[in-house]
Amino acid sequence: MTVRTGTAPVHTADELRRRLQRIDGRGYKAYKTLQGAYDLGDFVLHLVHVQGDPFATPSRVHVWVPQAVAGFPSWSYQSEARAIGVAHLLARTFAEKARRLSRPRGSGHSGRIEMDRPGQEVLPRTAVRLTAEGIEARFSVGLPAYGRRIDANEARALLLEDVPRVVRESLRFAAYDPETVRTFAEVNEDATWLRAQLPSWGLVAFVANGACLPRRSGVDERPLEEGAVLFKAPPSLRREVVLPSGRRLTGMGIPAGVTLIVGGGYHGKSTLLRALERGVYNHEPGDGREFVVTVPDAVKIRAEDGRSVAGVDLSPFIRNLPSGIDTRAFSTTNASGSTSQAAAIQEALETGTSLLLIDEDTAATNFMVRDRRMQRLVPGTQEPITPFIDRVRQLYETRGVSTILVVGSSGDFFDVADTVIKLHEYRVEDVTEAAREIARQFPSERTPVTDNPFQEPSVRRVPDPSSVSLQKGKRSSYARARGRETLQIGTTLIDLRAVEQLVHVAQTRAIGQALAYACRRYLDGHRPIPEIVAAVLEDIDRAGLDVLDPKGLLDLAGFRAQELAAALNRLRTLRVRVEPPA
């Protein structure tokens, strides 16, 4: 950061007081003279950007607390995963203290101290970073005014009393119970390690015994408190592991291949699948899903009618449309349930995935399965859709892509499953043998589609640079998150409601910046989508999220290639040139 690398001169606290005195009562714009760094003794306060108006987006502040003051022991940041786990705790505490300790000090946002509160998922964030040298925190403050005049007294209280108090109570080791810090460090490191082991164990997911999967409500991601049935692995799928911290875990390993989750309505199927979806991320201690992990490239697939699709090869699933439209490069501004689901699978394969997650609750039935009777009435030659049931094994056998599928309604899937898990009153049983036996006794007599479209690599989709515009009025690079679910790019809104593995507004914001960054660097009319996405992710891996926001004005959180691609794929203006594979 700027202060640490010493590019900006660092002024004294007295200088800050003098500058405030000078501008007291003047028009708000005079606050701009405060921009700069100040040594407040225990930490450096850097006013990076000053708002133009008390009602505008608040001003941006970075603070730097050297480790000599912060006092975090080296075990708390000795690995990246530990540092991220502890930074999550600090950001959560900072956000809460800021909300509690800051108070209105005039008009508009005057007096506010704000940092995004992290959710249940532990993500790398620009808001708080912990290293051997110290802690950097980035947040916003509303510089005080009465009307539109500067209130220097209130500003002094905000910057020299409120902010230091929040910093003292959240960014120093002494403010915490050391065991809490240790838990945040170790759990995050353990979960990261556990996820990394899955492929070598032949697994795509692991769910620890004792995990609490249900959430408090549909709008509250915290764990259910009353009456939660904690997870317990069935003996046949039980695995024991020893984590880096020395902690021993027992739990259920879900093997690679095709896995069904069956069971009666309301018995907890979707809850298990949702935990697996979010298992691509680590969770904070106490969440209940700390040791529910999924391979990092797992993608939730669902129907999403109405979405746009640009030049996607749907032919493995949809062919011979009555209109004669070629589905090898299919575009629409209004997809149906089945076409949207086919597009989602093809897009996931394009970006790269080793596990698809599908819930019947959000899947298009005609996309998933067609039974024997319907096959008789409407023969294959008259039906454009090859249902997923006929592709799911091919996906695994030719591409190595596993699937976990919630199906309460169709036993036809027994024929294609490697593992069948049943939920009964929120308890898991392994019913693989029983399902096999039933499949033997009652053949489905479906006629499976046997041609294999997954051996050929799919087409390359090259975005037309002129179809991705960030122009909005005079601004050439406009990208704004409007909550987690909506991203505005230029004048176009991207609907991300169905992108369920996007979990925090700071990710949406980062993806907005990533699209702008991709436009500047990589969207050149030659690179195909997966290459563009990979190039952005590589830059972030190498140089951090700051490459997307060099001035550090935004709270950004880490995101996956899958969600960046999902956003680009849902941009309604997107046009692509379709090329044969290189």
Triad 516, 517, 522: Cα angle to 5°: 110
CB of 234 to ligand ADP, least distance (A): 14
Is the Cα dihedral 88, 90, 93, 99 positive or negative? negative
CB of 206 to Mg ion, least distance (A): 22
Instruction: Name which position in 57, 103, 266, 476 contacts ligand ADP (CB under 6 A).
Output: 266
270 binds Mg ion, rule: CB under 5 A? yes
CA dist 39 → 4, 8, 65, 81, 102 (Å):
12, 12, 10, 30, 21
Report residue 421 CA to chain centroid gap.
27
Instruction: Using CA atoms of 245, 250, 255, 260 in order, give the dihedral in degrees to the nearest 10.
Output: -130
Which residue's CB is nearer to ligand ADP, number 177 or number 226?
Answer: 226
216 binds ligand ADP, rule: CB under 6 A? no
Report residue 259 CA to chain centroid gap.
24
265 binds ligand ADP, rule: CB under 6 A? yes
Strand partners, 38: 11, 45
Secondary structure (DSSP) of 337-367: HHHHHHHHHHHHHHH--SEEEEEGGGS-HHH
324 binds ligand ADP, rule: CB under 6 A? no
Q: How many CA atoms lie within 13 A of 492 on its CB side?
A: 20
Restricting to residues 382-441, which ones interact with ligand ADP according to CB under 6 A?
426
Pick the stretch among 78-86, 222-230, 379-387, 483-491 that binds ligand ADP (CB under 6 A).
222-230
346 binds ligand ADP, rule: CB under 6 A? no
75 binds ligand ADP, rule: CB under 6 A? no
In the chain, the amino acid numbered 81 is A
Size of site (CB under 6 A) for ligand ADP: 15
402 binds Mg ion, rule: CB under 5 A? no
Pick the stretch among 155-163, 186-194, 227-235, 448-456 that binds ligand ADP (CB under 6 A).
227-235
CB of 229 to ligand ADP, least distance (A): 4
CB of 275 to Mg ion, least distance (A): 13
Q: Which residue in the shown chain puts its C-beta closest to Mg ion? A: 270
**Backbone φ and ψ of 182, nearest 5°:** -60, -40
CB of 279 to Mg ion, least distance (A): 17
In terms of Cβ atoms closer than 10 Å to its own Cβ (0-12, 13-18, 19+), residue 560 is buried
213 binds ligand ADP, rule: CB under 6 A? yes
* Alpha carbons 173 and 171: distance in angstroms, whole number: 7
Which residues fall within 8 angstroms of residue 310, CB to CB, at 6 or more apart?
331, 461, 463, 569, 574, 575, 576
Beta strands 36-39 and 299-301: pairing type?
A: unpaired
269 binds ligand ADP, rule: CB under 6 A? yes
229 binds ligand ADP, rule: CB under 6 A? yes
362 binds Mg ion, rule: CB under 5 A? no
Instruction: Name which position in 161, 326, 361, 397 contacts Mg ion (CB under 5 A).
Output: 361
Pick the stretch among 261-269, 297-305, 370-378, 565-573 that binds ligand ADP (CB under 6 A).
261-269
CA dist 44 → 107, 416, 469 (Å):
27, 61, 39
Pick the stretch among 74-82, 268-276, 283-291, 334-342 that binds Mg ion (CB under 5 A).
268-276
Instruction: Give me the residues that bind ligand ADP (CB under 6 A), please.
Output: 213-214, 224, 227-229, 263, 265-271, 426
Instruction: Give me the residues that bind Mg ion (CB under 5 A), please.
Output: 269-270, 361
